[in-house]
Structure 1
Amino acid sequence: MSAHSTYEALSCDVCIIGAGSAGLSAAAGAAQLGAKVVLIERAAMGGDCLNTGCVPSKSLIASAHAAHTFTASMRLGVGEALAPKIDFEAIHRHIHGVISEIAPHDSVERFQGMGVKVLREGARFVSSNELIAGRYRIQARRFVVATGSRAVVPPVPGLRELEPLTNETVFDLVERPDHLLIVGGGPIGLEMAQAFRRLGSAVTIVDVAQILPRDEPEAADLIRGVLRKEGTTLFENAKLIDPQRHDTGISATIETAAGRHELGASHILVAAGREANVQDMGLELAGIDFDEKGIKVDDRLRTSNARIFAIGDVAGGPQFTHIAGYHAGIFVRNAMFGLPAKVDYAALPWVTYLDPEVAHVGLTEAEARKRHGELHVILERMDDNDRAQTERRTEGFIKLILTRRGRVLGVTIVAPHAGEMISLWGLVISEKIKLSAVASMIAPYPTLSELSKRAASAYYKPKLFGRLSRAWVGLVQKLLP
């Protein structure tokens, strides 16, 4: 019997590997346009975002925010300064209850209802136009690799042997850590640090560089102060040395320019970057180029095998759920409509869900200076916003990065609900809307959104209230009856 005869042949228009955010969006789009779709997922439907990423992390952050209101409300004259009662087992139920509420949207049943054939198997390419999944040998007009990414454990001697927590395991905790040591000062590490600190854990962060390296320095400075004020211990530009597990927990040495610090903790969480899931898929047999950063794609998300696309984290670009959905749209336009749609990250937004939130879109000041040279930079602080004053939440700012002629290149907002405010600026950048449109809009009072209008108006103030304007007004007043 030949090797081919041991498998059941299956053909389709689109075969997608991975049922995370990118794969599910691509499957839904293609199926609803009438394509015959096969979707392959060997693990949980919904992928990282639903099960171990955005959904559980934001659910934990919501619990932490609720706990923080007990002490924060005192600045508004409400309540007593009592520590909240933390039921971590109930928080665990809350997190997984939210996952359960959202899961039907990503379920096998929903996609089968769209006409998608869902295979709960691993997948491996065996040639440039075939792959094997379970008992099936699948041929497709187009393949999509959407296998996502996973947490990286840094090459610190002894760290991997400790089997540290990652985003894949930290949300399974049913008891609150007494002292959580977090390796990594990026968005995930800082979000978890603030959440666990507000829920009563002692928290220490150690990072080989500085926190929030992709964000504006002003944002990192503000967040650094917020975390320390709340009691988080922060070691930047530091090395973790000789981590060991003992009966009572974990010990390690932290080395900084100021010297060495001996540390004991109950738990250790690694949040130091992610790597693409490209292993054991037969990518070489399919003629797909890849490296440790992910699968190499062109600006239409096609791999070196033009019949195969890679989307989401595995494509080696920005690792955000909203980018996964964006990539799926690029694929659908290319493969379903035959349009040469290309990725464009000029208006790429991201949000770090701290309190206050850090939201950004477009270029940072440093990136913009490299590309454009001379800039106009506007920074307006939250303490000039009346809504922020009423809520005693005046830490934060908006920073606009403009060309000298006022074209918006990038925006950072640090504020409560900054993630809800940044979309306006994404629209301004993507649609090349004039800054004057934001300056002249009517913003409801009092809202945090007035901060955007104030920042846009600041660009025009020197001209509006300058010598020529004053002279013109003087002349008009003389001529008017």
Structure 2
Amino acid sequence: MTDLVKADICVVGAGSAGLTVAAGASQFGAATVLIEGRRMGGDCLNYGCVPSKALLAAGHAARAAGGGAPFGIADGAAEVDFRRVHDHVHAVIDAIAPQDSVERFEGLGVRVIQAEARFIGPRELIAGDGRVRARRFVVATGSAPAVPPIPGLDRMPYYTNETIFDLTERPDHLVVIGGGPIGCELAQAHRRLGARVSILEADRILPKDDPELVELLRQRLRADGIALYEQTKVVGVEGSAGAITARIERNGTTETVQGTVLLVATGRKPTVKGLDLEAAGVAYTDRGIAVDRRLRTSNRRIFAIGDVTGGFQFTHMAGYDAGIVIRNALFRLPAKVDHRAVPWVTYTDPELAHVGMTERQAREAGREIRILRWPFAENDRAQAERTTDGLIKVVTTPRGRILGASILGAHAGELIHVWVLAIGQNLKIGAIANMIAPYPTLGEVSKRAAGSFYTPTLFSERTRRLVRFLRLFG
């Protein structure tokens, strides 16, 4: 006989989404069970956000070591010890891991079960040697690398974002299949650490972002020495460790790209296999678990959040989803998701950040729009720090309602915050134009872009006539 554990809420998956629900539910007084069959912290801590940003930081440091000439500092090529880079990445993971540990969550009053879970009914599951019966369940099992069916790939060694951070020797030539955020970030990081890098992308790189800003980033990646093969189909791969060949088709011709290490970064797929969701009456497909705006599944006692729903695969959205679930599951409040102001950032150099609608999306939706732009080259702080490659682009209605914003530039991930707030709170462009921005800061690009909305009116002939008329009165 297996032991029976009864709980108010049972969370399956200890990634960002599941940990947030478990911590919140327990601290609100709910009897909480957390189940994880792999590593606490999930993808973000172990394979995603944390190690990738640590590797990018190492790449930025290597670039800075040889980039002093514009400031009057003699250049010196960076000497990269890739083993120490590896150790740096894992030291960052280790520093953050206690916040996601079994010990911390047990200290919060959560019962943690380290085992795989599978449902055996609409209100019950098995995990290890125990059964869990709960009033509410939350499935937060995240996602895993999606590996495309490329001929030959199953017969040769390759890396994904779950394994690439185990490298202790710098690749001589890294070939990346996939030009999305993961592919571009890891490509640039390895290039700046001294590897040759090629990106093979079936579409254009970063296809979900504004093409105007992506073109500026494309120029930077090429300037860094990254070979870009866009609108390219990989028709086969072959080779062994240290010697790989990718056969590609583009522009009607076939050619080969040779390298030493292969990274597959072609997106992620929801982790639903093995959960026996059918037994729980939960509808799902290969694209994820179906949920309504309250994040309830077809079984109203079971919620699904984060990557497993097939929606926005961002850690910050996992945390947002967790808040929606806690309000619904614990407080019976009919909280619903609102995706109007979902931001995302690609942490290349320069960074590319976005929130709301792109110009293309707005036009396809039939919206009448105005486009506001301001280049980083006209920002004094950017000039002082030699970070003038960049542009902010804002999409508004003719009356100044903000529909979306994209920023390519230094610290774009920080600069996008004000636009997330503006869209989420239904602010008009005047709220940004009238804010007092400290000088000199990169944040002034937002104020200047917003202020340009009024330029045609403020400096029109009509305004000049008004000034001349008022001058008559002294």
Q: Per the shorter chain, which TM-score range?
A: over 0.9
Identity of aligned residues (%): 53
Matched, 1:191 2:191: no
Contact 1:132 1:138 survives alignment (8 Å): yes
The CA deviation at 1:337 is 1.3
The residue that corresponds to 1:48 in the other structure is 43
The CA deviation at 1:55 is 0.2
The residue that corresponds to 1:226 in the other structure is 220
Letter of the 1:313 counterpart: D
Alignment counterpart, residue 330 of structure 1, candidates 324, 342, 347: 324
Q: TM-score, normalised by structure 1?
A: 0.97
* CA–CA separation in structure 2 for the residues paired with 1:71 and 1:131: 56
**1:99-143: CA deviation from partner (whole Å, max 9, x where unpaired):** 011001001111111110000010000011110011111110000
Q: Secondary structure at the match of 1:300?
A: coil
The CA deviation at 1:164 is 1.3
Alignment counterpart, residue 153 of structure 2, candidates 156, 159, 166: 159
The CA deviation at 1:248 is 4.6
The CA deviation at 1:378 is 1.1
The residue that corresponds to 1:58 in the other structure is 53
Contact 2:156 2:240 survives alignment (8 Å): no
Matched, 1:121 2:124: no
Equivalent positions of 1:239-258 (< 5 A) are 239-246=233-240, 248-257=242-251
Matched, 1:317 2:311: yes
The CA deviation at 1:263 is 2.0
Alignment counterpart, residue 73 of structure 1, candidates 68, 75, 82: 68
The CA deviation at 1:372 is 4.2
**1:450-470: CA deviation from partner (whole Å, max 9, x where unpaired):** 100000000011111112221
Contact 1:70 1:79 survives alignment (8 Å): no
Root mean square deviation of aligned Cα: 1.0
Contact 2:241 2:260 survives alignment (8 Å): no
Q: Secondary structure at the match of 1:479?
A: coil
Q: Secondary structure at the match of 1:285?
A: helix
Greater Cα shift, 459-468 or 277-286: 459-468
**1:296-341: CA deviation from partner (whole Å, max 9, x where unpaired):** 0001000000000000000111000000000000000111111111
The CA deviation at 1:258 is 5.8
Contact 1:177 1:266 survives alignment (8 Å): yes
Cα distance change on mapping 1:134 and 1:369 into 2, 3 Å: same
The CA deviation at 1:394 is 1.2
Contact 1:153 1:160 survives alignment (8 Å): no
Alignment counterpart, residue 447 of structure 1, candidates 424, 438, 441: 441
Q: TM-score, normalised by structure 2?
A: 0.98
* CA–CA separation in structure 1 for the residues paired with 2:367 and 2:318: 32
The residue that corresponds to 1:149 in the other structure is 143
Q: Secondary structure at the match of 2:360?
A: helix
**1:73-104: CA deviation from partner (whole Å, max 9, x where unpaired):** 21222122x32100011011100100011001
Structure 1 runs (4+) deviating above 3 angstroms are none
Letter of the 2:418 counterpart: L
Alignment counterpart, residue 100 of structure 2, candidates 89, 106, 109: 106
The residue that corresponds to 2:373 in the other structure is 379
Letter of the 1:402 counterpart: T
Letter of the 2:433 counterpart: A
Q: Secondary structure at the match of 1:317?
A: coil
Q: Secondary structure at the match of 1:42?
A: coil
Cα distance change on mapping 1:25 and 1:247 into 2, 3 Å: closer
Q: Secondary structure at the match of 1:234?
A: strand
**1:162-200: CA deviation from partner (whole Å, max 9, x where unpaired):** 231001100011000000000000000000010000000
Q: How many residues align?
A: 474
The residue that corresponds to 1:467 in the other structure is 461
* CA–CA separation in structure 2 for the residues paired with 1:262 and 1:280: 38
**1:332-354: CA deviation from partner (whole Å, max 9, x where unpaired):** 01111111111111000000000
* CA–CA separation in structure 2 for the residues paired with 1:71 and 1:138: 57
Q: Secondary structure at the match of 2:159?
A: coil
Alignment counterpart, residue 359 of structure 1, candidates 337, 341, 353: 353
Alignment counterpart, residue 255 of structure 2, candidates 248, 252, 261: 261
**1:221-249: CA deviation from partner (whole Å, max 9, x where unpaired):** 01111111111001001011321114651
Q: Secondary structure at the match of 1:459?
A: coil
Greater Cα shift, 369-378 or 327-336: 369-378
Gaps of 5+ in 2: none
The CA deviation at 1:254 is 2.0
Matched, 1:369 2:368: no
Alignment counterpart, residue 31 of structure 1, candidates 26, 33, 43: 26
The residue that corresponds to 1:3 in the other structure is none
Greater Cα shift, 379-388 or 445-454: 379-388
